[in-house]
């Protein structure tokens, strides 16, 4: 999953809404794992990933900074109910 928004769209919940829809659709169509990453210096994007149930899996040093990798598996029971109500 990847996303980028113009500054005018920041802080309006658009990324969380879109990420929720992507995760829900992925699982409804048979995916068993969804992965994403964000730069450590971007706490808003990291928070979006956490809000849709993703957990940190590892970090990677890149030329652009530290990349924090996240994943969520379909069988994580808390996610099913969480996405249903969002």
Answer whether residue 82 shows pLDDT above 90: no
pLDDT tens digit string along 27-69? 989 999 999 999 999 999 999 999 999 999 999 999 999 999 9
Average pLDDT score, the chain: 87
Q: Residue ranges per domain, the chain? A: 32-86
For the whole model, what pTM was predicted? 0.82
- Report how far apart, in Å, the C-alpha atoms of 79 and of each of 10, 33, 48, 63, 66 are: 25, 12, 14, 33, 27
Cα–Cα nearest to 38, from 82, 78, 5:
5
DSSP characters for 36-84? Answer: EEEETT-HHHHHHHHHTT-EEEEEEEETTEEEEEEEEETT-HHHHHHHH
Q: What is the CATH number of domain 32-86?
A: 3.30.70
Mean pLDDT of 61-83: 81
Read off the tokens for 25.
């659709």
């Amino acid at each position: 999953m990847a996303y980028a928004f113009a500054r005018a769209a920041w802080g309006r919940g658009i990324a969380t809404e879109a990420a929720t829809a992507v995760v829900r659709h992925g699982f409804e169509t048979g995916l068993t794992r969804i992965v994403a990453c964000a730069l450590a210096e971007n706490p808003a994007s990291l928070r979006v990933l956490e809000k849709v149930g993703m957990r940190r899996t590892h970090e990677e040093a890149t030329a652009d900074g530290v990349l924090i990798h996240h994943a969520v598996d379909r069988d994580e029971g808390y996610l099913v109910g969480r996405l249903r109500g969002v």
